[in-house]
Amino acid sequence: LYNPKVGPSVAWAVSRTEPWQSGIALDPMPFQDVGVNVGSAYDPYSNTVTITTTGYYYLEVCLGTMPLKPLDVEMILNGEPGNPAFPGERIAHFLVAGANHTSVATTGRGLIYHLEVNDVLRLRARGTTGVFSDVDKQTSWMGFLLYAYTP
C-alpha cells in the first residue's frame, strides 16, 4: 500500500535571460531570473542549490545552444567550483557535440536523484560551449522534492 511521507516543501525554478559563450568554463552557471524558490534552496549569489531535506528529487535542465556551437554542461553534486582537486561528482551530462546546426537548438533531460541534507548542486558549462537564452528563457533549471526519505 502506497503511504507517502510528508515533508517540507522544497522547489526551485530558475532561468537565464541572456546568452553566454567563452573560452573558459562557467562554474557555476548563473541564472538571472528566479521564478520559484520554495524553501530557499536556490542561492542566487552563489548560483547553487543547497538541499535542506533528505529525499528523492526531480531535477530538470533545459538548455539552448547557440548556432554553430557545441554544448557541454554538467550537473555537479558537491565539490568546489574551479578547484580541480575537488571538482565534485557529475550526476548528469548535457552534450550536443556537433556544431552543424544553423539555428538555436535545445536539449535537456529530467532525472530523479536521492540527495542528502547539505548536498550542493550546481551547473558547470565547459569553455567550448555556447549557451543560448533570452527573454523566452530557453535555458532553465528546476527541481523539487518528490519524497522526503531517510533510510
For residues 84 and 47, what is the distance between their CA atoms, to the nearest angstrom? 19
Sign of CA pseudo-dihedral 78, 133, 44, 11: negative
**Contact call for residues 131 and 139 (beta carbons, < 8 A):** yes
Which DSSP state fits 86? S
Per-residue pLDDT of the chain (151 residues; tens, 9 = 90+): 566 656 678 999 999 999 998 888 899 999 999 999 999 999 999 999 999 999 999 999 999 998 888 899 999 999 998 888 899 999 999 998 877 777 888 899 999 999 999 999 999 998 888 899 999 999 999 999 998 877 7
Q: What's the predicted TM-score (pTM) here?
A: 0.91
